Amino acid sequence: MMNSFKGLEPKGIWNYFSDICKIPRRSSKEEKIVEYLLEFGKKHNLETIADEAGNVLIRKPASRGYENRKSICLQSHVDMVAEKNSSSDHNFDTDPIQPFVDGEWVKAKETTLGADNGIGIASQLVILADTGMEHGPVECLFTTEEELGLKGAYNLKPGYIHSKILVNLDSEDEGELFIGCAGGIDTTATISYKTRRVPADSVAFRIDISGLKGGHSGDDINKNRGNSIKILNRFLWSVSERMPIRIACFDGGNQRNAIPREAYAIITVRQSHSQKLRDEFDQFCFAIKNELSESEPGLKTELKPADLPQVVLTKKYQLRMLNLLYACPHGVISMSKSIRDLVETSTNLASVKFTGSDTYTVSTSQRSSVESEKENIANTVSSIFELARAEVRQSDGYPGWEPNTGSEILKITVESYKKLFGKEPVVRAIHAGLECGLFLEKYPDLDMISFGPTIRGAHSPDERVEINSVKKYWDLLLDVIAHIPQHKNHNQGD
C-alpha cells in the first residue's frame, strides 16, 4: 500500500502513521504492532522492554547537556476499535487500513481509521528516532487492550516506568487540555431462551436499522444519537402488542465502548398479517426519523422478505427479551454539578448477540466521574438483567482521574500553548475513560496531562482526524518536551 499522506505535515508523523495503518492491531490482536515496536527499539539501539501484558516501554537517554532534566513519559495505546460498515469485507486480522485524504481530514475506507491512538504512536516514534532533537530523558510507553477496558494499564506493574511526569497522547480535541476523566465498568448479561417450531402459514422478514452515526460511548453519549438496538427493539416491542410476531434472531452493535450503529432481526408472522406488519413498520419509521431528523439524518430502515427459519423464540422468552432491552437504560444519567457541560454519569447499551446455543448476550458499559455513582448505575443495569433471570457479570472496572489544577505539567503546557498560538487553551475533564486513573493508582506521584489532535467519529467508520490539528498538536508536544525543567537538586541555588 502506498503512502496516502504525501505532502502532509509533519512529515514524520504521517510517514509512521502510514506504516501503522498497514499493521493489523484490533483490540486483543496486537501481536504484530507489539513486534513492530520491539524491532523499532532494537533497530535504534534503545532500551526496549515488554511486560507480561504486552505493554512496551522504550527509553531514550537525554541528549548531551540535558541529563539533569526531569524524565518525561509519553504514553499511547497500541490497539484500535475494529468497526466497519456492513457493506465492507475488511478483515481486521489480516487487511491493512485504507486511509485517504478528504479535504481537511484523513479518513479510512468503510472502517475505523485508528488515528485513535495511531497518531499518538506515530509521534512517539518520531521522537525516539530523531537524533538531533534536544531533550531530557524520555520514556515512551505503549499499552495494550485499552479499548477492551484498559487492560494493559490495569496490568502495568509499579516500577515499570521511572518518570514522574506523564503525557497521555489519547485525547481528541486540539486546543483542549485534559486533567481528569471518568471511571468505568462493564456489565454483561447472558440469558437463556427456549424455542418452538415456526407456526404454520408463516412468512419471514428481516428488519434492518442502519446509517446511524454511532460514535464513542463517552465523548458522544450526550449528542442525542440513535441507538440501533433501542430503535429496533422499540418497534418489535410495539408491534408484538398488536400481532403475533415471533423473533428468530436479534443482532446489534459490536464494541462495548461504541454506540451501536446497526442492528437487525429476523422475525416471522402469519401470511395474513404481512401487510399489516408493513403498514406498522412504515408508520414507525416515519415517527422515528422525525424524532432523530436533526441528530441522525442518515438513518436507514428496511423491512424485506427473508428465508423462513426453523425455530423462533417462545412467546414467554421473546417477551422477556423485549422487556429487558426496553427497560435497559441508555444515555446520560446525570450531568456534573461542578464542571459545566460535563457528563457525570452515563450508560451505553452496546450490543446484543445470539450465540447459537440457546443463549444471547447483552453488553453494556457504565461511566462516571463519581465512583459511587458509577457503582450505582452499574447496579441499576445489573438489577434489570437479574429481573430477566440473566447470568450477570461485571468487569473489575477502572478508576477515574481526579483533576489537579496545581499540576506543574499543566502550567508548562498552558504556557506553551499560549506562546505558540496566542490564546488560552481550554482546560477540562473528559467523560471518556483514559488510562491515567490506573496509572495514578500504581504511581501516586505522577503529574499528568492529556492532549491530542482533533479526531471525530472515533469508534465508528466515520472516524477522521483533522490534518491541521496534527501539526498544532505536534508543535505543542515538542515545545512541552523542550520546557521540562531540571531536577530541583540540580538547579543553581537550590
Confidence category of residue 283, pLDDT binned at 50, 70, 90: very high
Confidence category of residue 300, pLDDT binned at 50, 70, 90: very high
pLDDT at 493: 35
| CATH superfamily for domain 11-181+400-490 | Zn peptidases (3.40.630.10)
Per-residue pLDDT at 88 exceeds 70 = yes
Per-residue pLDDT at 448 exceeds 50 = yes
pLDDT at 176: 96
pLDDT at 1: 45
Per-residue pLDDT at 491 exceeds 60 = no
Q: Which three cell numbers stand for residue 6?
A: 504525501
Tell me what the mean pLDDT of segment 8-17 comes to: 97
pLDDT at 4: 78
Active site residue 146: yes
CA distance 431 to 173: 13
Active site residue 79: yes
Per-residue pLDDT at 8 exceeds 70 = yes
How many alpha carbons lie under 13 Å from residue 221 in its C-beta half-sphere? 32
pLDDT at 431: 92
Q: Which three cell numbers stand for residue 457?
A: 467519529
Average pLDDT, the chain: 95
Per-residue pLDDT at 259 exceeds 50 = yes
pLDDT at 145: 96
Per-residue pLDDT at 284 exceeds 80 = yes
pLDDT at 494: 35
CA distance 188 to 397: 12
**Exposure of 454 by Cβ count < 10 A (0-12 exposed, 13-18 middle, 19+ buried)?**
buried
Please tell me the CATH code under which domain 185-394 is placed. Answer: 3.30.70.360
Per-residue pLDDT at 408 exceeds 70 = yes
Question: CATH topology of 11-181+400-490 equal to that of 185-394?
Answer: no
Q: What DSSP string describes 349-418?
A: EEEEEE-SSSEEEEEEEEEESSHHHHHHHHHHHHHHHHHTT-EEEE---B--B---TT-HHHHHHHHHHH
CA distance 176 to 179: 10
pLDDT at 489: 63
Instruction: Render pLDDT for 89-123 as a digit per residue (tens, 0 to 9).
Output: 999 999 999 999 999 999 999 999 999 999 999 99
Catalytic residue among 19, 79, 145, 280: 79
Identify the bridge partners of residue 50 per DSSP, sorted by sequence position: 56
Q: Is the dihedral of CA 20, 24, 28, 31 positive or negative?
A: negative
- Residues of the chain above pLDDT 70, percent: 98
Measured from the Cβ of residue 136, the count of other Cβ atoms closer than 10 Å reads: 24
Per-residue pLDDT at 338 exceeds 90 = no
Tell me what the mean pLDDT of segment 300-306 comes to: 97
pLDDT at 2: 53
* Nearest Cα to Cα of residue 101 among 3, 169, 24: 3
Tell me what the mean pLDDT of segment 42-55 comes to: 97
pLDDT at 148: 86
Report the predicted TM-score, pTM, of the whole model to 2 decimal places.
0.79
Q: Which three cell numbers stand for residue 32?
A: 504484530
Domain ranges of the chain: 11-181+400-490, 185-394
Tabulate helix, strand, coil % of the chain (nearest 5).
30, 30, 40
Tell me what the mean pLDDT of segment 446-453 comes to: 97
Catalytic residue among 83, 146, 173, 219: 146
Instruction: Indicate left, alpha or beta for 488 from its phi (over 0: left) and psi (-120 to 50: alpha).
Output: alpha
- Residues of the chain above pLDDT 90, percent: 88
Confidence category of residue 337, pLDDT binned at 50, 70, 90: confident
Residues in the chain: 494
Instruction: Render pLDDT for 14-34 as a digit per residue (tens, 0 to 9).
Output: 999 999 999 999 999 999 999
Confidence category of residue 492, pLDDT binned at 50, 70, 90: very low
Instruction: Render pLDDT for 454-473 as a digit per residue (tens, 0 to 9).
Output: 999 999 999 999 999 999 99
